[in-house]
């Protein structure tokens, strides 16, 4: 089952750490699109030359390579990863981000 994911920072992202993770996973940039070994779908990102990070993955199929990259990005960022279609609305909160800080209980799942 393919899913769409959004990766974003709640505060200032650690851009050097994010770039290091992308390099470690051999992610290659092609304009706004990123290509990672073992990951299907479209990976669109704003990280090149940016002071913050925003990424979207469209039509990604869960795999060990995808999970490893996403987990490492969330921790390094720190980033929040959400999915469409939900629930859950939040898949992963990176290091130092508490779910209570970013979840809006007034929005139904």
Beta strands in 9-109 (DSSP E): 28-30, 33-35, 42-45, 54-60, 80-84, 90-93
To 5 degrees, how large is the angle CA 87–CA 91–CA 94? 155
For the segment 38-97, what is each residue's pLDDT rounded down to a tens digit? 888 888 887 656 677 888 889 888 888 888 998 899 889 888 888 876 655 556 666 666
pLDDT band for position 30 (cuts 50, 70, 90): confident
* Rounded Cα gap, residues 74 and 50, in angstroms: 17
Residue 24: pLDDT over 90: yes
Nearest alpha-carbon partner for 11 in 69, 71, 72, 52: 52
The domain ranges of the chain are 3-102
* Rounded Cα gap, residues 70 and 66, in angstroms: 6
pTM of the model: 0.78
pLDDT band for position 17 (cuts 50, 70, 90): very high
Six-digit token string for 47:
């990280």
pLDDT at 28: 86
pLDDT at 26: 92
pLDDT at 93: 63
Please say whether the beta carbons of 78 and 9 come within 8 A: yes
Say how many CA atoms lie within 13 Å of 98 toward its Cβ. Answer: 2
């Amino acid at each position: 089952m393919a899913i769409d994911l959004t990766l974003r920072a709640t505060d200032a992202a650690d851009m050097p750490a994010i770039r290091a993770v992308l390099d470690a996973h051999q992610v290659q940039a092609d304009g706004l699109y990123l290509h990672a070994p073992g990951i299907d779908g479209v990976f669109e990102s704003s990280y090149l030359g940016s002071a913050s990070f925003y990424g979207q993955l469209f039509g990604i199929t869960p795999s060990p390579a995808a999970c490893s990259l996403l987990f490492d990005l969330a921790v390094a960022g720190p980033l929040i990863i959400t999915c469409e279609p939900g629930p859950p609305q939040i898949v992963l909160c990176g290091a130092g981000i508490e779910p209570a800080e970013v979840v809006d209980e007034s929005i139904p799942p």
